Amino acid sequence: MISIKNAAQLERMRQAGALLYEVMQKLREVVRPGETTAAIDAYAEELIRKEGALPSFLNYRGYPASICASVDDQVVHGIPTDKQPLQAGSILSIDCGLVLDGWQADSAFTVGVGEISPPLALLIEVTERCFFEGARQAISGNRVGDIGHAVQTLAERHGYGVIRDLTGHGIGRNMHEDPSVPNFGEPGRGARLRPGMTLALEPMISLGSWQVQEMQDGWTITTLDGSPCAHYEHTIAITEDGLPEILTLPGHTWQ
C-alpha cells in the first residue's frame, strides 16, 4: 500500500533529509587511504545520535552497523570492518539512513579512495547522472517504469550494467514502503506517481554485468563478474506540479 504524505509529514521528512545530508557530507570528508570502514561507521552513528536521531540501518533485520560500506565490486550492504583499511585506487559506496522524530531519510554516494582511474571516475559520474535522469521522470502522472527506463537508458548508453535484483523503494515512517522502484523498465508501466509520494531512488550501476551474488555473511552483495559498482541515492517527494523535491539534497534547484 502506497503512503501519501501531507504537508506536515513532508516537512518532517524534509528535516530528516536535511540532517542526513549534513551527515553524508561529513562522511565524504573522512574517506581516505588507510581509514577503516568501521571507523567511518562509528563516526556516522555518533553524528546521527548527537542530533537526536537514530541510525535506521543498525539492527534493521539484524544488520550490525549504521552504514553500509561497499568497496569496489561490492554493490550494497557491505558490513563495515576494521580488518581491511581502505586502499588508494578503490571506490567506496556509503549508504546511510536515519530516523528523526519517527520519519526516515535514506541516501548513498560512491567516492574514490585517493586517486582513482578515469574509468572508475566516469562510472561514479554516470551513476549520479542516472539518478537525476530518473528523478526528472518522477513527476505526478508518470509511472514508476518511466523512472527506471530513464536510468537504464543512460547507463546502457555507456555500456554499463544496471543492477536488477535490487531496487529503490517508497519511504516514510518505514525505511522500505511501497512501491518498489527498479532501475530498469518500460515507460508507462508500474505504479502511477502522485503528489505526496516519497521515494528513495538509488541507481546501482556496474562497470560490467548486472548479475549479482550474495556473500557468506548473508548481507554483502557483489557483482557476479567482479566488476566495480557505483551507487547513488536520494530521498525525493513527488510534488503537485513539476519536478520532485530532493529531500536529502537541500537547496537543490532543477536547471
Q: What is the pLDDT of residues 110-153, one digit of tens each?
A: 999 999 999 999 999 999 999 999 999 999 999 999 999 999 99
Domain count, the chain: 1
| Domain that residue 111 falls in | 7-246
In a domain, residue 139? The reply is: yes
In a domain, residue 252? The reply is: no
Taking residues 159-172, what's their average pLDDT? Answer: 98
In a domain, residue 251? The reply is: no
Taking residues 185-196, what's their average pLDDT? Answer: 97
* Sign of the alpha-carbon torsion through 45, 48, 53, 55: negative
> According to the model, what pLDDT value does residue 217 have?
97
Q: Percent of the chain beyond pLDDT 70?
A: 100
Taking residues 14-27, what's their average pLDDT? Answer: 98
In a domain, residue 255? The reply is: no
Q: b/e map of 44-76 (b: 16 or more CB within 10 Å)?
A: bbebbeeeebbbbbbeeeebebbbbbbbbbbbb
Whether pTM > 0.85 for this model: the answer is yes
> According to the model, what pLDDT value does residue 161 have?
98
Please check the confidence at residue 255 and state whether its pLDDT lies above 90. Answer: no
Determine contact, residues 37/78, Cβ cutoff 8 Å.
Answer: yes
* Cell numbers representing residue 217 in the block: 555473511
Determine contact, residues 154/129, Cβ cutoff 8 Å.
Answer: yes
In a domain, residue 153? The reply is: yes
> According to the model, what pLDDT value does residue 171 have?
98
* Beta strand ranges found along the chain (DSSP E): 54-55, 67-71, 74-76, 91-100, 103-112, 161-162, 168-170, 177-181, 198-201, 204-206, 212-214, 221-223, 229-231, 234-237, 245-246
3-state helix, strand, coil in the chain (%, to 5): 30, 25, 45
Please check the confidence at residue 68 and state whether its pLDDT lies above 90. Answer: yes
In a domain, residue 1? The reply is: no
Q: CATH code at 201? A: 3.90.230.10
In a domain, residue 136? The reply is: yes
Q: What is the mean pLDDT of the chain?
A: 98
Instruction: Render pLDDT for 200-233 as a digit per residue (tens, 0 to 9).
Output: 999 999 999 999 999 999 999 999 999 999 999 9
In a domain, residue 254? The reply is: no
